[in-house]
Amino acid sequence: MKNPIELTLFELVEEIKSGNLDKDEVFFAYKKQINDYDEVYRAYISLCEKPEKINEGLLTGAPIAIKDNICTRGIKTTCASKILGNYKPPYNATVVEKIKDAGGYVIGKANMDEFAMGSSTENSAFFPSRNPWDRECVPGGSSGGSAVAVAAREAAAALGSDTGGSVRCPASFCGLVGLKTTYGLISRYGLVAFANSLEQIGPLTRDVRDCALLLNVISGHDENDGTSLFANRENYLSYIGREVRGMKLGIPREFMGEGTDENVKKAVWNCVNLLEGFGATWKEVDLPSVKYALPAYYMIAMSEASSNLARYDGIRYGFRHEDEGQDWSSSYSKTRGEGFGKEVKRRIILGTFALSSGYYEAYYLKALKVRTLIRNDFNRLFKEYDVLLGPTMPTPAFKIGEKVDDPLAMYATDIDTVSINLSGMPALSIPCGYSHGLPLGLQIMAPALGEGRIFSVASKLEEELRLSLRPPL
């Protein structure tokens, strides 16, 4: 009898549908794994019971971890923040409904950086998560708990959200596949907003086929989301294993710059050489505006965060500072001062400053202009190249506590991921090698709605690399 936790999502569903595995057996196998390991790795903020009814569909019987900023009806959705510590939404996010309709279910709500603000999951108001490859290292962020759940075999797959790399970063650090889709391909309805124009829900899975399967389930237009695309539905599984002969690959020099670990560079070039052996051609290219991506991204993200988080006032829902006799202004100030963590307050303050009179044109408006330049640069290259390749992260996972007190060093870890969010285009991280026993990620980027060609390239590389992606739990 196969152990359910060792099966990929695709294999698990096939075994359940064929009658070789019982749904209850699957649930209890994963619950046992959680009981055995989660006290150490801390993937989850809260756990859920198996639903009484499970539908038949693409995900029949599959336990899925959901990042704790994605709404789940009647189940705590805290955003890893004290200010939403006991909040239970009255509705499900569209992606949660789609998973349930397809026969999957929520096994737990995954830990994260508070309000998705961070790259290490150390900014959670509750506890940091630990990397299953090395428990002294961060799992990446902000979707770190989602990545840990999949890597530690505590979920068959997971959903995270990606505002500036928050799915791809933990995928790289934890040896997983993580996808940031074209903006609008997946509904954002029910995703607690941090930076509306940048963030997308995305899958974290053990392999490329699982990622395509999960995307088949959660993608598609949603009338509840004004940013949702009217795009033709695709079967992304049909791209798995397709030939890459004749594809043109661009390798942006800017993604291999100062601060990129030599082992990361070697792993990326190894992938380029493998694809060349399959008949693809490549050339080094320039993305000159990318050097401005990091400051532009943080200016836009912090400004949108300042606006979005103004709703947390302690009056309508969430945490409230209790002090009889105080006026509204004092209550509001104390509630937000105690309810938000240091990093969230830092970003609110900086964003409010950037949007204030006299500074809007100098900072926020200028960042929007840079965003246009970055999108134009990508569009220029995609007229000639099918995909772009580079590192997901410039280094392997770093130690817990190493950067948490240095915001600029933490922000700099996003240097290779934020430009895709600014462009609105898709990118996927796949494992491409190791450095001192820690996984490394290759980032594959494509033009808008180019997820299919990404899956073709990624599945070909995955098949050839044959990496062992079982962390030493």
Average pLDDT value for the chain: 95
- What pLDDT digit, counting tens, does each position of 264-316 carry? 999 999 999 999 999 999 999 999 999 999 999 999 999 999 999 999 988 77
* 3-class SS of residue 149: helix
- Residue 1 has a pLDDT of 65
Compute the distance between CA of residue 315 and CA of residue 29 in angstroms, rounded to an integer: 42
pLDDT at 330: 78
Q: Where are the domains of the chain?
A: 4-246+388-465
Q: Looking at residue 314, what is its pLDDT?
A: 80
DSSP code per residue over 361-392: IIIIIHHHHHHHHHHHHHHHHHTT-SEEEEES
Q: What is the pLDDT of residue 324?
A: 58
Average the pLDDT over each of 123-132, 256-265, 291-300, 464-473 and give the range with the smallest value. 464-473
pLDDT of 328 higher than 80 = no
CATH topology of domain 4-246+388-465: Amidase signature (AS) enzymes (3.90.1300)
Position 76 pLDDT exceeds 90: yes
Angle at 211 between CA 98 and CA 394, to 5 degrees: 125
At 344, is the pLDDT very low, low, confident or very high (cuts 50, 70, 90)? very high
Residue 471 has pLDDT above 80, yes or no: yes
Contact (CB, 8 A) for 137 and 438: yes
**Backbone φ, ψ for residue 468 (5° rounding):** -85, 110
The CA-atom distances, in angstroms, between 315 and each of 115, 318, 320, 321 are 19, 8, 7, 10
Residues that are catalytic: 67, 142, 166
Unique residue bearing structure tokens 């997820």: 451
- At 14 the pLDDT is 97
